Chains A and B, each alone.
Chain A
Amino acid sequence: MSGRDHTKGSGTTWVGRPIRRFEDPALVSGRGRFTADLPATHHLRFVRSPVAAGKIGRIAAPDGAQLITAADLEGVKSIVPMLHKFNYRPVGQPVLASDAVRFVGEPIAAVVAASSAAAEDMAERVDLEIEEATPVIDARAALAVGAPRIHAEAPGNVILEGKFKSPDFDTAWKGASKIVKLEARSRRQNATPIEARGGHAACDAATGRVTLICATQMPHLMRTAIADVLGMPEADLRVIAPDVGGGFGQKMSLASEYIVLVWLARKLKSSVAWSEDRRENLIASFHSRDQYVTLEGAFDKTARLIALKADVVANVGAYSCFPTTCGIEPLMAMAEMPGPYDVQHYECQARGVLTNTCTMAPYRGVSRPVITFALERLMDKAAAAFAIDPVDIRRRNLIDKFPYTSAIGLEYDVGSYRETLEMAVKAIDLPAFRARQQQERSKGRHLGIGFATFSERTGYGSPAFAARGMDITPGWETVILTVDPSGFVEARIGASPHGQGLRTTLAQIIADEIGVTPDVIKVVHGDTDHTPYGWGTFASRSLVISGGATLIAARKVRAKLIKIASTMLEAAEGDIILADGVAKIAGTDRVIPIARLAREAYTQTHRFKGEIEPGLIETGTYDPPGTFSNACHVAIVEVDADTGRVVVERYVVAEDAGRLINPMIAEGQVHGGIAQGIGNALLEEIIYDENGSILTANLADYMPPTAREIPPIELHHIETPSVNSITKAKGLGEGGTIGAPAAVLNAINDALAPFGAQIDEMPATPQRIRAALRALGKAA
C-alpha cells in the first residue's frame, strides 16, 4: 500500500485513510534530531564491571583523569523500584556500584573528558580491583539450595512470587481424559533499537536548571524519577525525548547513566553527553525473555482444555527495573496465560528470580511472546495426542462469547479469535499446503506449517497496572488541544512516540472532529516543558489512550467552535456542520472559516456576552479499562535436516485491532513486530558463558534478522470495534512479536514431525535443531 496525499473528498473521513506521515520529510532528509547529534563540552565513558559477581576493592584512575565513583555521589539515593504485592522483596540498585558488583557491564565509575574518544581512552586505563565471587547465571541454578545469594534482601534469590488457583481446580483436573505436558524455554534477548541509548545534560549556569535530552520512551517519568534519586526539585529539571531511534521497551526503564549525567551537569554547570556504544547496549542496557515455562493441560475426551497448570520461572537479572519492576514478565504471564482459550480452571505459580546477569526490563510483547509460544506448542502437542488437526483443536477451544471473564478475572471486551483463525486458514489454503508438504517430503524436503492464535491486551489504564500493586501506577493520558488565533491547531500530548506515527494518526482524529485538514495540525510531544504530564509510549497504549484523550479534547473544541459559529452565523447549534475548514449552516451556502472562528475566540470575546469563555484551548484526559486485540498468525517454513537451517517461506496474518486509524501505519507496526518475533524464534540470543561473560556483544553475533530472513508478510484485517476504546481503536504494536515465535516454532515442529524430533526452545537455532535430530539418531 502506498501512502496518499493529504487531500480527501468532502464527506469522507480522515480516520481510516493511509495518509503519508508528517514525521517523514525531516527523517528522510537527515534533519531528524537524535540525542547523539548534539555537541557537548564534556563527554562521559562508563567503567563497567568485567566480572559477574564480586566485591569492589580499589579503583585507581590514571594521572589527570577525572573519575566519578559512588563515593562522589554523596546524597544520591539508590534506585528502589517497588511492588506492594506478590511477596516482592525490594532491592536497591546504586547509581554506580559502591560495594558489590552483580553483573558484567554494571557501571562502577564514569570518566569525564573533552571528547568521547578521550574519555574512552582514559576509561580503559582505570584500574579496578575486584574480589571475584562465584556467579549464578541460570534461573533454575539460582533457585537451587546453596546457590549464591545475589541480594541479602531476597532469600533463595526469589524476588517475587505470584500464585493463583481457581476454586474446584483439583476436581476439574481429576476429570481429565488426557494430560499434555510441555517444558518450554525462552532464551535471553535484547530489544536492540538501532539507536542505542544516550543522553545529553546541560545546566544553565544562571538558573541551575538542567535540560536532559535522552533517548527515552517516557520523558515525564524520567524527570520524576531522576529528581527523586538526586533529591532535586522537578522544576529544576526539563527532560526532552528528541527523535528517538526505536525503543521497544528498552528505553522506558530508568538508566542510571542518565542520573550521572544530570548530577554531573549540575556539578560542572556545563553540558555533558554520553552515547552508549553497541557493546554496552548488548551487555548492559536491559535484557528480556529469559524464562522457563512449564505447562500442563488437562483435556477432556473431546480435546477441550478443561484445566491449565503453569509454572513460570523468569530470570530477572541482577536488579529490578524502574518503573515497572521485574514483576512485569512473571506477573503478566500469570495474568494472561490462558490467552485466547476458554478454560475456567487455572493454576499458576510465577516467580521472578535474581541472577548475576543484566537486568530484565519490558521488551515488545512482554511475557506474551513466551506464554503464547508455550500455549501454542501445548495445543499442537495436544492435537497430536488426540490425532486431530492443529486448526481443529483451536476451533474447539477458542473463546467465542464476549464479554468473557477469564479464570483469573480479566475481562475480554470483544474479539474475533475464531474468525481470524478461519480467515488465516482460508488465506493459507491448508489442504493445498498439506498436499504439497507430502509431495516435498517424498523428495527429502521438510516443510512445516505453524499456527498461533493469541490475544493482545492493549491500552491498559490505571486499574490494570494497579492490579499488579505497582508503586508507580501508569495508565491515563492527557492531551491539551489549542486552536491558535491564526487557525492552526496544536495538540500537546503526554505520550512520547518514537516511530509509531502519532503526529499523523492523532492529527487524523482531530481533523475529523473539528473539520480541518490534518496539515494544519501539529502534534507536540517529548518535552516536559511543553507537554502535559503523561506516561509516554509503551505497551501498545498510545493510540488507544492518547488517541482517546485527543478525541475528548477535540470534542470539547468542536463544541466550542459550534457555539461560536452559531453566535456569528445566528443559527441554531444543531444546524452547524464543521467540515473542510469551514463552519456551515446545514442546507445553506452560508459558511465561515474555522480559522476565523478561532480568531474571534481570542479577539472578539465581547461579542459572546460572557457566554463563551475566551480562547480555544481544551484538555482531554482518558483512562480506559483496557482492550484486547487478537490475531492468528500462520508460518510456513522449510527445515534443512542436514544443517538445521530454517527458512520462513510464507507468513500470513489475520488480525483484529478494532478500527484502524491509518491502515498504512497499522500494517507497518505488524510487519515490524513479526520481524522481531522471527528474530526471537530463529536467531537472536544473548549468550552468557558460565562465568557470566557475554559471548554475543556485537550485532554480528547477536544477529537481528535482515531483509533476507523476513518473508513477504500477507495481512488480513477484521475491524471489531472495541467498546473499551472511545476511538474504537485497539493497540497493535506488540502483536507481531507475540505471535511470530509460536507460529514459527510450531511450523518447525510440524516439519520435524516425521523424525519425531521436538524443539520447545527459542531461538530454534541450527545447533538446537541438529541436536534434537541427533539425539534421536536421525541425523549424522
Chain B
Amino acid sequence: MIHKPLLLLIASSISLVAYADNDYIRPLSQSKAYQAECASCHMAYQPGLLPAQSWQRIMNNLPNHYGSDASLDSATIKEISTWLIDNAGTYEHVSNPPKDDRITESTWFKRKHRKIVEEVWLRASIKSPAQCMACHSAAANGNYDDDFVKIPK
C-alpha cells in the first residue's frame, strides 16, 4: 500500500508548483476601445487585475483619474465599462477592492513584490510600481512570469 500522507504531500506539492508558474493574465476578449483610450498614457492593465467594483468606480470618475483628467464621451465609457466588468478579476485574491482601487495597493500585489525595496521603485528606469513594463517587459501580453523578469538598474 502506498503511504497516504506521502502521496498527499506529493500531490499538493505538484499543484503548488503548477500554480506558482501560472502568472499569465489575459482577458477572454480584446477591446479596441480600451486599447485606444486607456493605453495612451499608461500600460493597458488587464481587467483581471481588479474586481468589477473597482473598475466601475474608476470608469465613473475619469475626470479625476489618479491626478489626471481622462474623461471620455458617455458612449465610449459605457462600452469600455461593460468590457472591463465582463473580464474583471474573479479569483478569490482579486475580489477585494484595493485602496484607491489601485492595483499596486492590492494585498496580492504587495505580497508578490515584497522583496523589492523602496529604492528600486524610485529608479529613473522604473519610476513607480504602476509601470509594470519596466521589469515585466511582456506585461502588455499578460506575461508576468518570474522567469521573464529583468529589473533595470
Partners in one complex: no
Interface residues of A (CB under 8 A from B): none
